[in-house]
Each structure stands twice: as C-alpha cells, then as structure tokens.
Amino acid sequence: MPDAYLYATARTPFGRFGGALSDVRPDDLAATALAGVLAKVPDLDPARIGDVVWGNANGAGEDNRNVGRMAVLLAGLPTSVPATTVNRLCGSSLDAAIMGARAIEAGDAEVVVVGGVESMTRAPWVLPKPSRAFPAGNVTGVSTTLGWRLVNERMPAAWTVSLGEANELLAERFAISRERQDEFAVRSHDLADAAWAAGFYDELVGPVAGVDLARDEGIRPGSSVERLAGLKPSFRTVEQGGTITAANASPLNDGASAVLLAAEDADLGAAPLARVAGRGVHALDPQDFGFAPVEAANKALARAGIGWSDVGAIELNEAFAVQSLACVDAWRVDPELVNTKGGAIAIGHPLGASGTRILATLAHRLVESGERWGVAAICIGVGQALAVVLENAARAG
C-alpha cells in the first residue's frame, strides 16, 4: 500500500469578518487556493488529478452547489477533474486531507488536491419553509455564520449551548484562568506577527485578485495581557465568572487553503515535504468539543507508531484559548512546541479552511526545523475532533 505525501501548499490571506475579503465569493476564494497550490508544481498536468476533496462548513449560500467542483471549474482545470465537498464543520478540510490520503493509499488515485474554504462574512440568513402555505405571522431569518441554527427540539439543552458557553464550562472544569487565556492570545498574535516578519508565510500565502491584502488581516501585534484584561467577557458576565472575550477566542473569518497530496513515486517534478503517517478521529459529548483533540491526537500517534516524546512540532487550531490550553495540559507536552508561527486566535479561523491551514503550517515547520514528527489537531463543533501525524519527508524511513 503506497504512502500519501504532501507535496505543496497554498492559501489566501485570512480576512476578518466584513473585512478585505468580504466582497469575494467563497467559490472564487476556493479557486484561488486551488490554482495557487497547482502553481507550486508546474510540471504536473492537471488532468492527472484523480480527485479534489474540498471542505466547507456552512454551504448555505454561494458555496452551496459542491463548492469543490465549482473551484475546479473556476480555476480553469479540465472538466474531467472530479471534485467533492465534505462537511465536518471546523474539521472539514482536515477531513478532506484524510480522505485524500486514504484514496492514495488505497490506489484509487495517484494525485489528489485537498483543501477548504469559508466566507463567514457572506454566509446568508436562512428562512425555514412554513408547514402550510401563506402563513400570516412574521418569519425570522437565521444566520448561518456560526453555531447552532434551526435546532431540533429533541436535542438535550446541555448539548446545544453556544460554543462560548461550552468553553466556559471547560474553563470551570479545568480551572483555566482568564489570565492564562489572555497570555495565550497575546502569544498567538506576537508569534504570527514575528513569523510574517521573518518571511515564513511568504511562500505559503498568495494574493487574491483585486484585493489589497498582503497578510492575515486579524493579527494584532504589540498587545498585552493588561490591555486584554480590560475587555468584557462575551458569553457570561464578570459576576458569573466569565473568562472568554473577543480577544482570547478565534474571530470570524474568510479564506481558503489547499494541499497537494500524491504518492511518493508520482513524479511531479518536486520533492515531497511530508508523509501522512497517522490519523485519528474522536467524539464525545457535544458541549465538550474543545477537549476532543486530546484523544484524536493520541489515536493518530498510536497509528503512526510513535509517542508524544517523539513529536517536535504541534499545530493545534485555536478555536478558543481555553480549549487549546486544556488540550496542551492534557498532552503534557512542552507548550513551546505549539503553534510557533501563531495560531487561529491571531491568524483567523475560516471554518472550512482551517484544517489544511494547520496541516500546511505543520509541514513547513518540519522542513524549517528539521524535526521528524509533527501533529496537527482541530476541535470540531458538536463534540468531535480530528488529528493527523506528519513525518518530515527528508527523514522518512
């Protein structure tokens, strides 16, 4: 069974909600990332692509008609290149990468492009259809930007709390203070800013046509714990013990990312960056979703045949500072291995694009550092998580 290797990555800058990318359709963002990753392997005939697997969490607006296939067509690929769109909420594009790797390992495809997109700005309001024609009362539009919508009344209330309240529960459970969360958030912004200044992202991130945005829009360098301490909690009051603010949680974002996967002997005219060595998926109670990466990563490591002591780089999607800290504490790893190029609190979290964003960052961190093993993990709303172990291709074997 052949191994799947990561050969190239590309993404757009991540824009803030209502920001620089707000006028760009999600299918155009997806096409930009898809074209960008293929530009990294100019010797590859696009007709050789066996499949495109694309992640998207909302799918209620301009991304509703299989946005992966829309990206293929808009990027100018041959119409013979197939594509599918998958939805595992925040983990959608990491799920796409897992599916693409499996297709290569099974021999179903030699080359697969995976990725994801989200425009949280352009996610529409939706109206449920009435049970009878011409209702006389008012109808309420429901935002599809984030979180639960049109909830089934049979769902237990404990399962359907807001994402923020779910993470306040985590803060209580693990006694993670507001100060620790704010410190983590400041670190994310400072490291992201430093990575951009050092040129780390220059080859990973490409422009979006017609948009003047050179780097991730949400990065705020020079902040401080003292400044963040002045912000009001977003989901509970101070009197209720609220710890989560707009600053220590990931923002709403727009963006797309892509990764090219292929077999080791695919002859693409480029050297592989990393091997997909292990995968893990885990689920628990919906309100505990922020803690789910713990076991997802443990499963991925076991399947790769290594342990945490072997890992030299960790990319954990920072949905909230509190859930990131809870996971890092549970793994008992050196926090300095985590998100050394900044995380989602600073860079952003366009839901469907984040999985391949962290996977790509991890691969390039391994190349830069020479470390052999790395883990990418992401929490997923409604109680799930995914993780992937990568092995530096230069050290594989």
What amino acid positions are annotated as catalytic residues? 90, 349, 379
> What stretch of H or E contains 103?
helix 92-105
In angstroms and rounded to an integer, the radius of gyration of the C-alpha atoms of the chain is: 20
Give dist(CA 301, CA 312) in Å, integer: 13
Give dist(CA 271, CA 349) in Å, integer: 29
Query: Residues 346, 373: contact at Cβ < 8 Å?
Result: no
The contacts of residue 259 (CB under 8 Å, 6+ apart) are 6, 8, 9, 37, 97, 113, 114, 115, 356, 359, 360
